[in-house]
Amino acid sequence: MIQWHPKHIPIERSCSSAKKIQYAPYTILSGGFLLLIIIGAALLKLPVATYEPISWVQSFFTATSAVTVTGLVVVDTGSAFTLFGQLVIALLIQLGGLGLMTFAIVTLIALGGRIGFLEKVVAKEAFNQTDSSTLIATAKSVIIFALTVELVGMLILAMYWSDELGWQTSLFHGFFYTISAFNNAGFALSADSLIPYVSDPVVNITITALFIIGGLGFSVWIDIKRKKRWSKLTVYSRLMILGTIALNSVALIAIYLIEQDNPNTLANLSESGKWLAAWFQAVTPRTAGFNTLPIDQLEDSSTLMMLMLMFIGGGSMSTASGIKVVTFIVLLLATYSFLRRDEQVLAFNREISKESIKKALAITMISAGVTWLAVFLLLLTEHAPMLDILFEAVSALGTVGLSRGLTSQLTSQGEFIIIVLMFIGRVGPLTLAYILAAPRQKKLRFAETKIAIG
Amino acid sequence: MIQWHPKHIPIERSCSSAKKIQYAPYTILSGGFLLLIIIGAALLKLPVATYEPISWVQSFFTATSAVTVTGLVVVDTGSAFTLFGQLVIALLIQLGGLGLMTFAIVTLIALGGRIGFLEKVVAKEAFNQTDSSTLIATAKSVIIFALTVELVGMLILAMYWSDELGWQTSLFHGFFYTISAFNNAGFALSADSLIPYVSDPVVNITITALFIIGGLGFSVWIDIKRKKRWSKLTVYSRLMILGTIALNSVALIAIYLIEQDNPNTLANLSESGKWLAAWFQAVTPRTAGFNTLPIDQLEDSSTLMMLMLMFIGGGSMSTASGIKVVTFIVLLLATYSFLRRDEQVLAFNREISKESIKKALAITMISAGVTWLAVFLLLLTEHAPMLDILFEAVSALGTVGLSRGLTSQLTSQGEFIIIVLMFIGRVGPLTLAYILAAPRQKKLRFAETKIAIG
Ligand SMILES: [K+]
Ligand SMILES: [K+]
C-alpha cells in the first residue's frame, strides 16, 4: 500500500523526484480542467454554437462556468445557444462534474493499459481512497452510479414535460436539466431558471433529489452500498449525512419563517407551494445553483443565511464545492472540544486527526482570504452594492451559480475575476495553494512555545 | 508554581471544587464588568449627569460602551452630558480599560491583605503571567506605565488646546481625550469625533500614539522593558510588534491609494493632510474608534479593509479587543505550515503549541459565529443596508466604536443586540463560551481517524 503523504516518502529519495510526485496530481487536475475550458470555449465560439456571435470573454466565461459546474451566466443559455451549443455545455458540465480522473481511468481500462503509479496517486486524491487495489472497482461504481441516477432523473423529467413540450424537446430538457442538476451545475434553459415551477412538486422533488444525491459525494454512496448499516459507516459518511440533514432542516425552517410574508417571494403561494419554495431555496445554495424564487427579492436575512450555506457547500469528492460540510463540522467540533478542554477532538467515539483539523483550518482560511480579496477587487472594478458583490463572489468561489443579478452587468475585469474564482473554487483553494507553495523537508525540530491567544 | 490548565489539576480533587476553581476567574471578570456597567448606568441616569433626561436604555448603552471601551454612542457625549456625566464616563473607561483585576490587586496591596489563591488565578489570567511571584510587581508596573503615558498625553493635548479653549477646558479635554485614546475607547466630546483636526499633526500623532501604545498590550511593554534587545523578546512580543507594523503599513497605503480621489474624504486635503488622514483611519480600526474622516463617506473597498482590521483588533492583554493580532498571525502560520507539509507550526524557530492553534481556531470560530448571528438578528430588527449593519456589528464586537451612522437610528431591540455584542467583545467571546460550556474530565482515549476535508 502506497502512502500519499510526503512525510512517508523515504528521506533518501532525491529532492527533485519527490517534488515531481508531490506536484503531479494537482498539476494534472488543474491542467486538465484548464484544457477542458479552452476546448469548450473554442467550441462555444464556433458560429454553429450560437444564434448571434458572442465574444471570447463570453465563451470563456460560459465554458468555465460549465466545466466548474458553477452556473453563473453572462449570456442566456436557452436563447443564445443553439442545440449544438447547449449539447457542448451539457458535455462540459458532465466532464467537469464527474471529474476528468474518472474518465481517465475508464479510458485506460478500456484500452487495456496498465495503470501507472502516477494515475493511482491522482485517482486516490480524487476519490479519497487509501487502498489502491479497490481503485478501479471504485471508478466503475462511480460511473455506473452516476449514469443510473441520471437516467432515472432524465426519464422522470422527460415524461413529465412531454405534454407541455412534445417528446423531442422534453427529452432534451430532461437530459439537460438532469445533467445540470446531478452535477450541481445550475445551468437552466431559460433566463428565469426554474421560477415557473415554483409550486410544482414533481420538478421540485426530482431536481432537488438529483442535486442532493450528487452533492453528497460518491464516497458516501459507495460506503452505504458496502456497509448497509449506520453504525458500520465511516465517521466521514455519518458526519456528512447528519450535517446535510441539519443544514437543510435549519435553512428550510428559517427561510419559510423569514419569507412567509414577503409578497415578492412566498406570500402569494399556497401553503404547499410555500414549503416547496422554502425547501428549494434552502437546499440550492449547496451548491446546485438553480432557483425557483427571484434571489434578489429575498430578505437580507435569508440572503445572509444563503451566503453561509454557499460558503460551506456540499460534500467532499462530490459535484459540489465550498469548504465542504464536513470541514465545517470539524471546525465546530474542534472549537467545542477546546471549550470543554478535551485533549482529543471526537466524533462518534473516534478522534479526528490533528492533520484533518489543520487541513480544515487551512482550507477555510484560504477560502475566506480568497473571498475577501475578490470582494475587495470587485469593489474597485464594479459599481454595485457590497451585498450583491459579496453574493456573487461567494457564489462563484463555491461554484454555486446563484446571483442577485450582477453577473450580466459585470465589467470585463469583473468577468475575469469571477472566471478565476470559479476555477479556484472547482480545482480547490487548497490544490492551487499546494501548487504555489514550495514544499520543503524540515530536518530540525524546534522547541515548543505557548503564546497568548485572544 | 500553580498550573492553571485543568489537565494539570490532580484527578483526586473532588469534581465540585475543581469546577469552582475553573469557573471562578471568568465568572468574576464578567460579573465585575456587569456590576460596573450597572453602577455606571445608574450614575449616568442621575439628573445631575445630563442636561436633558435620558432613557434607561440610553444610560445602559452609554455605560456599556464606556466600560467595554467601545465608543459607540446613542447620545452625544459632548452636548448631552454635564461635566459630572463626562467624568463618570471617563472613569468607567479607565476602570474598564485597565481592567478590574489590576485595581482589585492594588486595593488588596493597599489594605495590606494577603492575596489568596483565587486572586492569583484571576490576575494570572488577566496578565498572562505564569509565575505568580512576579504578579504584584507586574500589576504595579502596569499602573505606573499607564498613568505615566496618560500624564504625558494629557499635558501635550492640554497645552496644545489651551490657546483655543482656555486652560480649564483644555485641561479637561486633554484629560478626557487621553483616557479615551489610551484605553482605545473612542469617546469624543463632539459628535463629529476628531474630524475638525483631520490635518492637524499634533492631535493626529498624539492621539494615535496613545491608542497604539495602549493597544499593543502591557505584556509587550513589560517584555521590552525587561529584555531590551529584539532577539531576547518573547515570540509573542515579536509577532505582535511585526504584525502591528505590517497591518498598519498595508492599511495606510491602501487607504491612501483608494481614497486619494474621493472628494468626500482625502481629495481636498493637502498632501501631508492626506497622509495624516490615511494614517489615522488606517490605525483607528484596531480598536481605537476615533475618526478624522466621515466613515460613511469612505469607499466600500476601504470599508471592507476596515471591517477586516476591526475583526482582527489589537493585542492580547491590552485595552483593545477583536480576535487579536497574534491570533490572526497564528492562523496564517498554521495555514502556511500545512501547505508546506511541515509537522510543526513555527515562528522565530519556536514551535507554536497545538493548544495555541486550537485556541486561535476556537476564538475565531466563536467570533465569526457571534458576528454572523448578530448580523442575522439585526437584519430582522433594523431597516438598513447590510453593509451598515455588518459594520456596526463588527465594530461593537471588536469594541471599536466606528459607525456608518446606524447607532443613533437603532431600534430598542437593535440597541440591546449592540449592548450584548459590546459586552461579549470586551469580556471575550472565549470567556463567555468557557462559562457556558460544561467542562468534563475524559477518562477514555479514543482511536484516531482521518477524514476527508475540503
Ligand atoms: K452550481
Ligand atoms: K473603541
- Complex-level ipTM: 0.84
Q: What is the pLDDT of residues B52-111, one digit of tens each?
A: 999 999 999 999 999 988 989 998 888 899 999 999 999 999 888 877 556 555 555 555
Q: Which of B346, B452, B454 sits opposite A446 (nearest CB)?
A: B346
Q: What's the burial of A344, exposed, middle or buried (CB within 10 Å: 0-12/13-18/19+)? A: middle
Is the per-residue pLDDT at B46 higher than 90?
A: yes
d(CA A255, CA B67): 37
Taking CB atoms and an 8 Å cutoff, what residues of chain B touch A308? 372
DSSP B299-367: -HHHHHHHHHHHHH-S-TTSS--SS-HHHHHHHHHHHHHHHTT-SS-EETTEEEPHHHHHHHHHHHHHH
Which grid cell sits at A200? 410544482
Distance of CA B51 to the CA centre of its chain: 30
Mutate one of A338, A383, A397 to test the B interface: name it (highest B CB count within 10 A). Answer: A338
* Cross-chain residue pair B356–A304, CB shorter than 8 Å: no
Decide the pairing of beta strands B346-347 and A448-449: unpaired
A379, B301: Cβ pair inside 8 Å?
A: yes
* Separation of alpha carbons B306 and B296, rounded Å: 12
The ligand that comes nearest to the alpha carbon of residue A97 is 1
Cβ contacts (< 8 Å) between A316 and chain B: which residues? 452-454
The proportion of chain B whose per-residue pLDDT surpasses 90, expressed as a percent, equals 36
Strand A448-449, strand B350-352: pairing:
parallel
pLDDT for residue B343: 75
Grid coordinates of B162: 489651551
Q: Which of B219, B344, B375 sits opposite A304 (nearest CB)?
A: B375
Q: Work out the minimum CA distance from B331 to partner chain A, whole angstroms.
A: 8
Chain B residues in contact with A349 by the CB 8 A cut-off are: 446
Would you place residue B6 in the very low, low, confident or very high pLDDT band (cuts 50, 70, 90)? very low
CA distance A63 to A61: 6
Residues with CB under 5 A from ligand 2 (ion): B 71, 184, 186, 287, 289, 401
Residues of A in contact with B234 (CB under 8 A): 449, 451
Sort out which chain B residues have CB atoms less than 8 A from A448's CB and list them. 350-353
Query: Low-confidence residues of chain A, pLDDT below 50?
Result: 1-23, 112-114, 130, 438
**Which amino acid type is present at position A426?**
R
- Nearest CB to A434 within list B317, B339, B349: B339
CB nearest to B326's CB, from A351, A354, A453 = A453
CA of B95 relative to ligand 2 center, distance in Å: 14
For residue A352, list its beta bridge partners: B449
Whole-number average pLDDT of chain B: 81
Cell numbers 436575512 correspond to A301
Instruction: Report whether pLDDT(B17) > 60.
Output: no
Select from B301, B316, B331 the Cβ nearest to the Cβ of A380.
B301
Burial (CB count <10 Å: 0-12, 13-18, 19+), residue B395: buried
**Residue A340 to residue B438, Cβ atoms within 8 A:** yes
Pick the more confident residue, B404 or B133: B404
Whether residue B208 is predicted with pLDDT greater than 50 in this model: the reply is: yes
Q: What are phi and psi of B238, to 5 degrees?
A: -65, -40
Assess whether the previous peptide bond of A431 is cis (omega < 30° from 0): no
Cβ within 8 Å, pair A453-B340: no
**3-class DSSP assignment, residue B262:** coil
Q: Cβ contact (<8 Å) for B454 and A385?
A: no
Contact B446 A385 (CB under 8 A): no
From chain A, the residues in CB contact with B428 under 8 A are 454
Which alpha helices (H) appear in B191-231, and where do they start and end?
201-216, 218-227
pLDDT of residue B12: 36
Distance from CA of B73 to the nearest CA of A (A): 25
Report for A354-358, B20-24, B422-426: range of highest mean pLDDT? B422-426
Supply the pLDDT for residue A404: 92
Binned at pLDDT 50, 70 and 90, residue B143 comes out as confident
Q: How far is the CA of A71 from the centre of ligand 1 (A)?
A: 5
Query: Per mean pLDDT, which range of A404-413, B135-144, B345-354, B398-407 is the poorest?
Result: B135-144
According to the model, what pLDDT value does residue B433 have? 59
- Taking the centre of ligand 2 as the mean of its atom positions, its distance from the CA of residue B316, in whole angstroms, is 15
pLDDT at B8: 36
Distance CA A434, CA B454 (A): 13
Q: Are A345 and A357 in contact (CB under 8 A)?
A: yes
Mean pLDDT of the region B261-287: 90
Give the residue from B329, B339, B357, B453 with the most A CB atoms within 10 Å of its CB, the best one to mutate.
Answer: B453
Grid coordinates standing for A108? Answer: 485506460
pLDDT tens digits, residue range A387-417?
Answer: 999 999 999 999 898 999 898 889 989 999 9
Spatial distance between the Cα atoms of B21 and B28, rounded to a whole number of angstroms: 11
What is the band of B15 on the pLDDT scale with cuts at 50, 70, 90? very low
Angle formed at CA A41 by CA A35 and CA A45, multiple of 5 degrees: 150
Indicate if the pLDDT at residue B261 is higher than 60: yes
Give the up-direction half-sphere exposure of residue A126: CA atoms within 13 A in the CB hemisphere. 30
Beta-ladder partners of A347: A350
B294 grid coordinates:
466621515
pLDDT for the residue A356 = 80
The string of pLDDT tens digits covering residues B282-327 is: 999 988 888 889 999 999 999 999 999 999 988 877 777 888 888 8
Is A439 in contact with B341 (Cβ distance < 8 A)?
A: yes
pLDDT of amino acid A32 = 80
- pLDDT score for A454: 57
Domain parsing of chain A, residue ranges: 14-435
Nearest CB neighbour to A128, from listed B331, B354, B452: B452
Least confident of A170-174, B169-173, B439-443: B439-443
Which of B301, B330, B346 is closest, CB to CB, to A453?
Answer: B330
Which chain B residues are within 8 Å of A379, Cβ to Cβ? 299-301, 304
> Is B369 in contact with A287 (CB distance < 8 Å)?
no
Give the closest-approach CA distance of A240 to chain B in angstroms.
Answer: 10
Within 8 A of B451 by CB-CB distance, chain A residues are: 234-236, 239, 326, 330, 352-353, 356
In terms of average pLDDT, the best of B189-203, B382-396, B428-442 is: B382-396
Closest-CA residue of chain B to A365: B335
Q: What is the mean pLDDT of residues B346-375?
A: 86
How far apart are the CA of B195 and the centre of ligand 2, in A?
16
SS3 (DSSP) at A32: helix
